[in-house]
Amino acid sequence: IMGCIPVARPQDTAIKMPDSETIRVNGNIIYGNNTSFTSQLKIKDKIRLRGNPEQLVVKKIVSDTELVIEQVCGDELKEMNDSKWDLLHYVNQSNVYDGVYEALRMGQCFGIFPEGGSHDRPDLLPLKVGVAVIAFGLIEKHNIAVPIVPIGLNYYNGHRFRGRAVVEFGPPIRISPELYELYKKDKREAYKE
């Protein structure tokens, strides 16, 4: 497509594991039943319990039936014993970011549609971390600070063909020198800001 930078997402190529393979979560440990974690998974792959959208990132593979995930899971996942699961292989997005940095370095602009869905809230959803990664990375790699302009699309009778839409632009968000200094010390904390 004209001028697009393709993005691969792990959820687009999710693999449904056989129903005979089940897992259970205990804190940041996942135990498998009839699993072969050492041959199925790699570090940074993600696991998703069916019926739950949360993606659990693999930190360490201990054995065919035990692994450690990056985050500690809440009680709702602990209650899902012997769950069927999907495997989402890690996708290295460096080519995407390189393409974005080059486009911005050349003076182009681009749009991101991170929500991928509709909602009926009267405000924008929080920005995804990829927007911050791009903004900080462009300063780091090319010393170029670009504004982030939030845009909202409001549809009236959106389910109807040629329904009316209103495009609203929010005030530009800029990376301050203080925030960039925080980024150099603690990227994750800066991304949250």
Mean pLDDT by 10 residues, the chain (193 residues): 75 91 90 95 93 89 95 68 91 89 89 65 70 92 90 77 84 92 91 83
The helix (run of H) or strand (run of E) holding residue 136 is helix 129-142
pLDDT of residue 125: 66
How would DSSP label each residue in 22-73? EEEEETTEEEEES--HHHH--TT-EEEETT----EEEEEEEETTEEEESS--
pLDDT of residue 120: 67
pLDDT of residue 128: 74
Sign of CA dihedral 178, 97, 87, 126: positive
Residue 185 tokens, joined = 């010390």
Q: How far apart are the first and last CA of the chain?
A: 33
User: Is-contact 60 67, C-beta < 8 A?
Assistant: yes
Amino acid (one-letter) located at 62: V
pLDDT of residue 172: 92
The SS3 call for residue 88 is strand
Contacts of 89 (CB under 8 A, 6+ apart): 10, 13, 15, 42, 45, 46
The SS3 call for residue 180 is helix
- Name which of 14, 27, 20, 37 is nearest 84 in CA terms: 20
pTM above 0.75, yes or no: no
CB neighbour class for 23 (10 Å; exposed up to 12, middle 13-18, buried from 19): buried
**Strand-pair category, 22-26 with 29-33:** antiparallel
